[in-house]
Amino acid sequence: MTLVDRVLLGPGPSNPYPEATAALAAPLLGHLDPVFLGILDETCERLRTVWGTDNRRTLPLSGTGSIGMEAAFANTVRAGDPVVVAVNGLFGERMCEVAGRYGATVIRVDHEWGDPVDVERVLAAHPAPRLVGAVHAETSTGVRSDLAALGAALRERGGDTLLLADCVTSLAGIEVAVDDWGVDLAYSGTQKCLGVAPGLAPFTMSERAWERRVEHPPTWYLDLGLIGDYVSGSAGGGRTYHHTAPVAMIASLHAALGRVLAEGLPSVFERHAAAGRRLQEGLVELGLDLFAAEGHRLPELTTVRVPADVDSAQVRRRLLDEYGIEIGAGAGKYASTVWRIGLMGHNARLDRAELVLAALRRVLG
Ligand code: PLP
């Protein structure tokens, strides 16, 4: 089998920024080489800017987005801790599963898929949970939830509850403001709006979360104390080996973040907003119905209902075979009744929106 060039307009991965791809071909450095450590430091600093945080503990974890979810629960949850999870799609479901595996007593707050998180209901679920988890951009449904409001409500209530945000599909696509929103833990993935291949999970953790952490988590690989000794240096000041950092991926993330920050975050967000707006308008012009609740639609990931007389899989296959365009099926019970179209990172452009609209128009006849 030989590789082919595709336009990746599904729920991820997206086509990386050219700078991110070029960095993968750069000479490899050792993971303790001072030049590489400089790149790692700059990567963490750039991540602080896109996360909107001063958190010292801001780093790329080795693994895909889900490793960020695992690390968050593994390092904060003890057996029997009450954990409230807002479930409005597949990734809220996954949070429940992962939190449960680390011993949490999970309190689910179920929403209709396609709706945003209801802050009042989340607050009412438990008076003082150890942690509240919510997905900022639900990739399974294309919905944005208001984490600023959730963070403000939790702070107003007071107490020790930590707020965990899944920002896999939001970081570097729509605004994320960890410190202003009162988010204690957040993770993302590189393969979406950050415009890098899959393989790293940018992660950030507040001082408050650090003070409440599990000292000896049941996972060695994701022990943030041990990883921190490599990424930021140990108490003695030196950087100690934990695992071999995926140096090429970190160099690629460094390059993509450089590109994003050179463009400027406001411009990056506007580019995503304009592309998503055009795609959503165009889909409606084609006579299709959007799935996510109006007013809560993500620009970077659009969900659209498959018309009743159309074979969802066949349309996706024709887009792939005839036009080299990948779009996604729906998730969960919407697998065959919804399509998911991503305009993320390097693909957040009007030309990509017009391309997929033109191809869909042809295929739908
Ligand atoms: N959370 C959200 C919102 C996602 O969209 C994804 C992946 O699509 C994940 C978590 C899991 O990330 P990964 O598949 O990179 O492990």
Give me the domain span that covers residue 131: 18-262
Q: Are 343 and 359 in a shared domain? A: yes
What's residue 236's pLDDT? Answer: 74
Q: For residues 260 and 50, is the Cβ–Cβ distance under 8 A? A: yes
Q: What is the Å distance from ligand 1's center to 188 Cα?
A: 8
Ligand 1 pocket at CB < 6 A: 11-12, 64-66, 91, 135, 139, 166, 168-169, 189, 198
Residue 2: inside a domain: no
Q: Is the pLDDT of residue 275 over 80?
A: yes
24: three-class secondary structure by DSSP: helix
* Pair 60, 47: CB distance under 8 Å: yes
**Looking up tokens 């399509």, which residue turns up?**
339
From the CA of 65, how far away is ligand 1's center (Å)?
A: 5
- What gap in Å lies between CA 349 and CA 340, rounded to an integer? 17
Pocket test for ligand 1, best of 96, 98, 139, 203 (most atoms within 8 A of CB): 139
Which pTM was predicted?
Answer: 0.98
Last residue of a domain, one of 262, 289, 309: 262
Q: Answer yes or no: do 90 and 160 share one domain.
A: yes
Query: Binding site, residues?
Result: 340
Q: Are residues 328 and 313 in the same domain?
A: yes
Closest ligand 1 atom to 11 CA: 8
Q: Is the pLDDT of residue 237 over 80?
A: no
Distance 12 CA to ligand 1 centre (A): 9
Domain limit, last residue, from 204, 239, 262: 262
Distance of CA 136 from the midpoint of ligand 1 (Å)? 12
Cα–Cα distances (Å) from 183 to 53, 66, 136, 164, 265, in that order, read 10, 18, 11, 6, 19
Residue-wise DSSP of 128-184: S-SEEEEESEETTTTEE--HHHHHHHHHHH-SS-EEEEE-TTTTTTS---HHHHT-S
pLDDT above 80 for 253: yes
Q: Which is the closest atom of ligand 1 to the Cα of 69?
A: 10
Q: What is the pLDDT of residues 18-72, one digit of tens each?
A: 999 999 999 999 999 999 999 999 999 999 999 999 999 999 999 999 999 999 9
Angstrom distance (rounded) from CA 343 to CA 137? 14
Residues 65, 124, single domain; the answer is: yes
pLDDT at 232: 84
Handedness of CA 30, 33, 39, 40 (dihedral sign): positive
Predicted pLDDT at 39: 97
- With beta carbons less than 8 A apart as the criterion, state whether 95 and 51 touch: no
What are the pLDDT digits (tens) for 192-236? 999 999 999 999 999 999 999 999 999 999 999 999 888 888 777
Q: Within this chain, do residues 149 and 268 fall inside the same structural domain, yes or no?
A: no
pLDDT of residue 270: 98
Ligand 1 atom nearest the C-alpha of 198 is: 15
Question: pLDDT (tens digit, 9 = 90+) per residue, 257-268?
Answer: 999 999 999 999
Task: Report how many domains make up the chain.
Answer: 2
Q: Convert the pLDDT of each residue in 305-344 to its tens digit.
A: 999 999 999 999 999 999 999 999 999 999 999 999 999 9
CB atoms within 10 A of CB 354: 14
Interface pTM (ipTM) of the complex? 0.99
Identify the pLDDT of residue 235.
75
Tell me how long the chain is.
365
* Structural domain ending residue among the three candidates 232, 262, 292: 262
Of 85-99, 231-245, 334-348, give the lowest mean pLDDT range: 231-245
Q: What is the pLDDT of residue 363?
A: 98
